Amino acid sequence: MAHTLPPLPYDIDALEPHISRSTLEFHHGKHHQTYVNNLNALVKDTDLADQSLEQTIKAVAGDDAKLGVFNNAAQVWNHSFYWQCMKPAGGGEPSGALADRITADLGGFTAFVDAFKKAGATQFGSGWAWLVLDNGSLKVSKTLNADNPMVHGQLPLLTMDVWEHAYYLDYQNRRPDYITTFLDKLVNWDFVAANLAAA
């Protein structure tokens, strides 16, 4: 079962002017595709060849001999999830059960925004900022490189890519501006709420 590049859930220019068509052509069409290609090459003719992304990630997590498999599998999963976390005319504040949980677990939406911005801005080098469900409570976290919360017993609900290729063409070195725009203009709260409801 070869892994494939999932299509974007919106037109390639649908996130403009916040994320450009050019960024998505490189980020989705080249970076994400390369992770897919690398993963397929690494698992070909192995016992992982017919495993799902989630099964592969969990099977090789912590195995230094299979770090390449983990990195590429997790990056395929992380990116596929990230595209779903955004939508045209997104952002703003969530409502309903998700908003209630953010208030109960994180102290309110403003506190969430502060924590999420800090997680993204202080992730040294490449990585991801996350909203996760951890032992029944919402938590903001960050991971380095390809690391994924699922291997730490957490359920991902929302992610933001803070690798430079996610924002550099549009924001250069202004990662905080990208983070603010992600929250204000791009977050797909319906997707996040559905992830929480399905937990």
- Check the annotation: does 3 bind a ligand: no
Is 165 labelled as part of a ligand binding site?
A: yes
Half-sphere exposure of 33 (CA within 13 A, CB side): 9
Instruction: Measure Cα distances from 76 to 5, 73, 157, 167 in Å.
Output: 8, 5, 16, 18
CB 193 within 8 A of CB 97: yes
Q: What angle do CA 188, 190, 193 make, to 5 degrees?
A: 115
157 φ, ψ (degrees, to nearest 5): -115, -35
- Identity of the residue numbered 151: V
Contact between 130 and 34 (Cβ < 8 Å): no
Question: What is the maximum span of the chain, computed from C-alpha positions, in angstroms?
Answer: 49
Tell me whether residue 32 is annotated as binding.
Answer: no
Helix/strand/coil for 37:
helix
Q: Report whether 79 belongs to an annotated binding site.
A: yes
Q: Are 120 and 187 in contact (CB under 8 A)?
A: no
Sequence ranges of the binding site for Mn(2+) = 27, 79, 161, 165
Sequence ranges of the binding site = 27, 79, 161, 165
